[in-house]
Chains A and B, each alone.
Chain A
Amino acid sequence: AQSVTQLDSQVPVFEEAPVELRCNYSSSVSVYLFWYVQYPNQGLQLLLKYLSGSTLVKGINGFEAEFNKSQTSFHLRKPSVHISDTAEYFCAVTSSGGGADGLTFGKGTHLIIQP
């Protein structure tokens, strides 16, 4: 079984400042890792995913994440945030066998962009 810990429930940041949303996972097997974003009153959409290969993964809207196996982390970063990035962000994990039984999600981090 896998688990995900998102260390911050809320992250306030000023517009155009950089941001990092932290995610740590626990698993006894190899994993695939995901970041999803949920804008207000919407469903979840995929930001980016790590399956294998390069540990630095680039996603949509200027976000990127780095997989660190030794620290079991998959932190999400953006060098300069915009008001439109205000949303809930979820880190998720599944076993690298394909995760047929669904993804395990963290509790979410609410990113608040201040003008």
Chain B
Amino acid sequence: DADVTQTPRNRITKTGKRIMLECSQTKGHDRMYWYRQDPGLGLQLIYYSFDVKDINKGEISDGYSVSRQAQAKFSLSLESAIPNQTALYFCATSEAGATTGELFFGEGSRLTVL
């Protein structure tokens, strides 16, 4: 089983719908991240969390919200999806106290907004 699991892996939805992408991890890491990948743009940070009570905005947080339900779970929500939120979304984790900053990624959730 994967250490970082994302659900759903693929989702097609319509403009205006509310969407939640879920991430769970078995690595025991405190830090969790949501990134968005668009072709030719690389990965951009949406939100990150150091623990259940510590949530931080990344560089492109507008239109998104997150919830850290437990150390192992970090969800990304699109309250009212729009077509330019069509992208591949990645959850990642890293170990608190680690000095490297290395991230461990899930396999991605592909979202299409029509």
List residues of chain A with CB under 8 Å of any chain B CB.
6, 9, 32, 34, 36, 41-46, 49, 51, 90, 94-95, 97-103, 105-108
Cβ–Cβ contact B42 & A32, under 8 A: no
Cβ–Cβ contact B42 & A99, under 8 A: no
Q: Is the interface of A mostly helix, strand, loop or mixed?
A: loop
Residue in contact with B33 in the complex, picked from A36, A102, A108, CB distance below 8 Å: A102
Of all A-B residue pairs in the complex, the 8 with the closest CB atoms, nearest first, are A99-B101, A94-B101, A43-B105, A107-B42, A105-B43, A43-B107, A105-B42, A44-B105
Cβ–Cβ contact B105 & A45, under 8 A: yes
- Provided the pairs A9-B40, A108-B42 are in contact, do residues A98 and B100 lie with their beta carbons within 8 angstroms? yes
Q: Does B62 contact A (CB under 8 A)?
A: no
Within the complex, the shortest CB–CB distance from A34 to chain B, in Å, comes to: 7
Cβ–Cβ contact A101 & B48, under 8 A: yes
- Provided the pairs A51-B100, A98-B101 are in contact, do residues A90 and B42 lie with their beta carbons within 8 angstroms? yes
Chain B residues within an 8 Å CB radius of A105: 35, 42-44
B90-103 vs A, Cβ < 8 Å mask (1 yes, 0 no): 10101010111111
Residue in contact with A44 in the complex, picked from B31, B48, B90, CB distance below 8 Å: B90
Chain B residues within an 8 Å CB radius of A42: 107-108
B32-62 vs A, Cβ < 8 Å mask (1 yes, 0 no): 0101000011111100101000001010000
* Extra contacts besides A43-B105, A46-B102 (10): CB < 8 Å: A43-B108, A44-B103, A95-B101, A99-B94, A100-B50, A100-B96, A102-B92, A102-B103, A105-B43, A107-B40
Chain A residue with the shortest CB-CB distance to B31:
A100
Q: In chain B between 66 and 114, which residues have their CB closer than 8 angstroms to a CB of chain A?
A: 90, 92, 94, 96, 98-103, 105-108
Cα(A59)–Cα(B18), bound, Å: 41
Within the complex, the shortest CB–CB distance from A72 to chain B, in Å, comes to: 18
Cα(A95)–Cα(B99), bound, Å: 10
Cα(A42)–Cα(B105), bound, Å: 10
